[in-house]
């Protein structure tokens, strides 16, 4: 089974990519969270064009990519999981967690380091928020990301099938959590326990100071009106980010997180959170 997966790696990648892209796009048409202001054709041509450029540059820059390196590492005994005898299921699980942690730390780094933020802000300057936003990354960021991933694969020696599964999941979740889709609030709260939902992530694409002001207002509103927390303003807040200093971003990230916790705890104790009508 593993050999079958690896032998059909390109087909598996393109099938999942197109399948999830089409599914999310159809969901966005059927049940959008926000009203679309910019023609889809204009943005999608640009964002999907970036994907093509990124893919070509990766293939031209690296003689081998993550799955291929994992196969080579297994053949030559490179990496911790190949040096130490590890059950297949444990190696698979550890590999998924380690790769996910590496990409998370990379994301933090691209927000916190000014030179890297200059690359990553291309992702945040998309003026709408939909499935293609999750694919919009500066080519230099994609190349650096692949370099980091290759370093992790060489050091860890993960099973090639684990690398393939991770990359498919990473691509799928990026498209999902950037989609402009309406998920019932109760279901969204459950999904947040295992995955980043679009409503959970959308705040990261709202200008930082505006978001912080909005959350502070939401906390105050929860205190004044205990029967509901009404985030109607979220539907009209601008998506897209100007040039914000990374230091300010980090400081406000902490402040926003605390504000979300305060607001969430207050609403849980004092009333229900009715969001659905506010996004009409």
Domain ranges of the chain: 2-177, 206-279
Selected residue with higher pLDDT from 257 and 165: 165
In 3D space, the residue among 120, 47, 12, 179 whose CA is nearest the CA of residue 188 turns out to be 179
Cβ atoms within 10 Å of 142's Cβ, excluding its own: 19
Average pLDDT (96-103) is 96
- Residue 99: strand, helix, or coil: helix
Average pLDDT (33-59) is 93
In 3D space, the residue among 233, 86, 72 whose CA is nearest the CA of residue 154 turns out to be 72
Selected residue with higher pLDDT from 206 and 12: 12
| pLDDT at residue 225, as a whole number | 42
pLDDT tens, 134-164? Answer: 999 999 999 999 999 999 999 999 999 999 9
Inform me whether the pLDDT recorded for 229 exceeds 50. no
Task: Please compute, for residue 251, the number of CA atoms within 13 A of its CA located in the half-sphere on the CB side.
Answer: 6
Cβ atoms within 10 Å of 31's Cβ, excluding its own: 12
| pLDDT at residue 222, as a whole number | 45
Selected residue with higher pLDDT from 79 and 8: 79
Give yes or no for a contact between 34 and 129, defined as CB atoms under 8 angstroms apart: yes
- Residue 168: strand, helix, or coil: helix
Q: What percent of the chain has pLDDT over 90?
A: 62
> Mean pLDDT over all residues of the chain?
81
Residue 40's φ and ψ, nearest 5 degrees, are -60, -40
Concatenated DSSP letters for 58-116?
Answer: HHHH-SS-HHHHHHHHHHHT-SHHHHS---HHHHHHHHHHHHHHHHHHHHHHHHHSHHH
pLDDT tens, 117-127? Answer: 999 999 998 98
Average pLDDT (223-244) is 46
Residues 6+ apart with CB under 8 A from 75: none
Residue 20's φ and ψ, nearest 5 degrees, are -70, -40
Average pLDDT (78-88) is 94
């Amino acid at each position: 089974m593993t050999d079958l997966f690896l032998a059909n790696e390109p087909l598996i990648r393109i099938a999942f990519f197109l399948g999830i892209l089409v599914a999310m796009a159809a969901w966005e048409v059927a049940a959008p969270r926000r009203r679309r202001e910019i023609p889809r054709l204009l943005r999608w041509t640009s964002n999907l064009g970036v994907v093509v450029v990124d893919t070509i540059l990766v293939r031209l820059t690296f003689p081998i990519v993550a799955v291929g390196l994992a196969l080579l590492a297994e053949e030559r005994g490179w990496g911790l999981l190949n040096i130490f005898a590890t059950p297949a299921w444990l190696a698979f699980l550890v590999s998924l967690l380690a790769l996910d942690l590496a990409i998370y730390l990379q994301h933090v780094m691209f927000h916190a380091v000014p030179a890297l933020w200059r690359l990553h802000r291309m992702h945040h300057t998309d003026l709408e928020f939909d499935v293609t936003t999750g694919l919009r990354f500066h080519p230099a960021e994609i190349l650096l990301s692949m370099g980091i991933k290759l370093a992790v694969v060489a050091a860890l020696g993960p099973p090639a099938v684990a690398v393939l599964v991770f990359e498919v999941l990473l691509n799928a979740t990026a498209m999902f959590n950037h989609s402009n889709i309406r998920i019932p609030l109760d279901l969204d709260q459950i999904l947040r326990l295992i995955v980043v939902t679009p409503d959970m992530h959308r705040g990261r694409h709202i200008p930082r100071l505006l978001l912080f002001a909005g959350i502070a207002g939401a906390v105050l509103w929860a205190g004044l009106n205990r029967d509901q927390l009404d985030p109607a303003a979220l539907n009209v807040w601008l998506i897209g980010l100007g040039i914000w200093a990374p230091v300010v971003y980090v400081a406000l990230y902490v402040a926003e997180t605390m504000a979300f916790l305060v607001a969430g705890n207050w609403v849980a104790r004092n009333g229900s959170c009715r969001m659905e009508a506010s996004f009409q």
